[in-house]
Amino acid sequence: MGQGFLQIALTLCIVITITPQLGKYIARVFLGESTILDPVINPIEKIIYFIGGVSQAEEMTVWSYIRALVSSNLIMGITVYLLISFQGILPVNPNNLGMPTWDLVLHTTISFLTNTDQQHYIGENTLSHFSQIAALGFLMFTSAATGLAVGIAFIRGLTGRNLGNFYVDITRAITRILLPLSVIGAIALIAFGVPQTLQGTLVVQTLEGANQYIARGPIAGFEIIKQLGNNGGGFFAANSAHPFENPNGATNLIEIIAMMAIPASLIHTYGILSNNRKQSWLLFWMVFIIFAILIWIASVGELQGNPIINRALNTSTPNLEGKELRFGWAETSLWAVTTTATMSGAVNGMYDSLMPQAVFSGLFNLFLQIIWGGQGTGTAYLFIYLMVTIFITGLMVGRTPEIFGRKIEQKEIFFISIILLTHPIIVLVPSAIALAYPISLSGISNPGFHGISQVVYEYASAAANNGSGLEGLKDNTLWWNLSTSFSILLGRYIPIIAILLLADSMSRKITVPQTRGTLKTDSLVFTAVAASITIVLTFLTFFPVLALGPIAESFKLAG
């Protein structure tokens, strides 16, 4: 028991140590300051800008930024859909795989385009190496960079700057952050045993004389951007529980840190861009404490094990069902909470076998979306809840709601309402429809309270652009492919557009001088109030499904 919690603590200490430095580096990149990579990257970026006809000095209006984002994403989505559809006649297809069904191709394309990477297919049996690299691998970089660009644009607007240039932001995110870190990470993964090859499935003869088929591919490069970009989609169906994607404790540590690195660092990036390091550290510790509490809830549940099994065997053992023994209950619990906190969606065990406490922690992360949140967008959500807190507390004490000397008024509350209300609508409405037809639509494999969790988790994962799932669900059907695609699209682009419009509105505000009556947002008391309001609002919104799912299942097992 002690060793498991020590592993968790040491991993979190590493994250606390490295994220402030990475946050400073990200800030320098988007402030246009010199970095160690300039001699190598500057010539490459000049070529990219020349070919694309992009001026680095050009500042976009909010609608130009939105049009650039949506149009580029649309073109990338159409291109990837065609690549996967025609993979049978394209190169690097050693296993001669043909086109999947049209609805599966549509779901896969939308899922990877939006940084969701929800998978309703078996990767090694469905997609060619070319599709994995040129289609999905390409989207892993661009979707993560898109989210990162939106997060930086939001911080700029919030602090009174222009939003910037989308094409410059997405280029810098890839060339100066995602690509260099991916190269370093991929080399480390290869060194610790993750394969990287273009060869097809290996056929070996077993001792019994039968044939065994071992899938191979360019896994190391795929794996690192999967984690670093908070993508989560696996090369194999088993995802990071597969020994080729995650063979040992060293690779497991690298991949957990990669998931948290950028989302956690962006809070420090905000502190530098806003010149308010005190507030960024307060927010960092607020998020970290909630994160640690959710890890503790999940870990205790897995450590105590299944009470029904323990009573029957008159023993006390952790819940090891669905877990890789090379990671055990502790590393699986940490990963389960981390992957839902960062909106990564990667898994290193079977989540359908988790105890209700861990399912509760995962669902609560998907509902909150700020611990640590998605690539870039999670930071935006964090400050949106901060603005809600400012608005509520300002009304309570009779002060004008302001942030950075800019008033929060009706227009801003309108955009905030759209952002915060979209998520519960696209989670709860389709969940209710699926649960109303348990035989024809839902695909539940475990009836009862756990079955409700399976359905709600799938839509929460889609709407939050996470991608993980309780994989007992029979989700590769026309209903699930199309309905989750709908939730994914709305959960990605409606909030992004509203976030950018909110940032633009704040950037245009006239700065009001601070007085003795100005509400201080960089205090410990205000940060505690913000945490309380955020948790209460989320819990009240989703309490019925939590009560009918993991909470009820927990009481049932205990009884």
pLDDT in tens, 281-290: 999 999 999 9
At residue 504's C-alpha, the angle toward residues 503 and 505, to 5°, is 90
The boundaries of the domain holding residue 143 are 21-273
The answer to whether residue 28 sits within a structural domain is yes
The answer to whether residue 455 sits within a structural domain is no
Q: What is the per-residue pLDDT for 473? A: 86
Q: What is the per-residue pLDDT for 209? A: 85
The answer to whether residue 287 sits within a structural domain is no
For residues 185 and 170, give the distance between their C-alpha atoms in angstroms, rounded to a whole number: 21
What is the helix (H) or strand (E) element at residue 8, kind and residue range?
helix 2-30
For residues 222 and 120, give the distance between their C-alpha atoms in angstroms, rounded to a whole number: 18
Q: Which residue has the higher pLDDT, 12 or 205?
A: 12
The answer to whether residue 120 sits within a structural domain is yes
What is the helix (H) or strand (E) element at residue 507, kind and residue range?
helix 478-507
401-430 mean pLDDT: 91
Pick the closest to residue 130 from 75, 175, 171, 85 (CA basis).
Answer: 85
Q: What single string gives the DSSP state of each residue in 170-207?
A: HHHIIIIIIHHHHHHHHHHHHHTT--B-----EEEE-T
Q: What is the per-residue pLDDT for 200? A: 84
For residue 215, which phi and psi values (nearest 5 degrees)? -70, 140
Give yes or no for residue 514 having a pLDDT over 80.
no
Give yes or no for residue 264 having a pLDDT over 90.
yes
Q: How many independent structural domains does the chain possess? A: 1
The answer to whether residue 435 sits within a structural domain is no
CB atoms within 10 A of CB 417: 12
Q: What is the per-residue pLDDT for 524? A: 92
State how far the alpha carbon of 180 is from the alpha carbons of 110, 126, 140, 221, 337, in Å.
26, 29, 14, 12, 27
Reading the block at residue 523, the tokens are 């205090």
Give yes or no for residue 314 having a pLDDT over 90.
no
At residue 401 the predicted structure's pLDDT band, cuts being 50, 70 and 90, is confident
Reading the block at residue 72, the tokens are 């580029």
Whole-number average pLDDT of the chain = 92
Give yes or no for residue 516 having a pLDDT over 70.
no
At residue 22's C-alpha, the angle toward residues 21 and 25, to 5°, is 90
For residues 271 and 279, give the distance between their C-alpha atoms in angstroms, rounded to a whole number: 7
The answer to whether residue 550 sits within a structural domain is no
Give yes or no for residue 359 having a pLDDT over 80.
yes
- The percent of residues above 70 in pLDDT, for the chain, comes to 99
Q: 410-436 vs 478-507: helix axis angle to the nearest 10?
A: 170
The answer to whether residue 525 sits within a structural domain is no
- pLDDT per position as a tens digit, 434-467: 999 887 787 888 888 999 999 999 999 999 999 9
Q: What is the per-residue pLDDT for 1? A: 64
Q: Which 3 state secondary structure label does DSSP give 499?
A: helix
At residue 313 the predicted structure's pLDDT band, cuts being 50, 70 and 90, is confident
168-190 mean pLDDT: 96
- pLDDT per position as a tens digit, 25-57: 999 999 999 999 999 999 999 999 999 999 888
State how far the alpha carbon of 232 is from the alpha carbons of 237, 364, 476, 501, in Å.
12, 18, 18, 28
302-325 mean pLDDT: 89
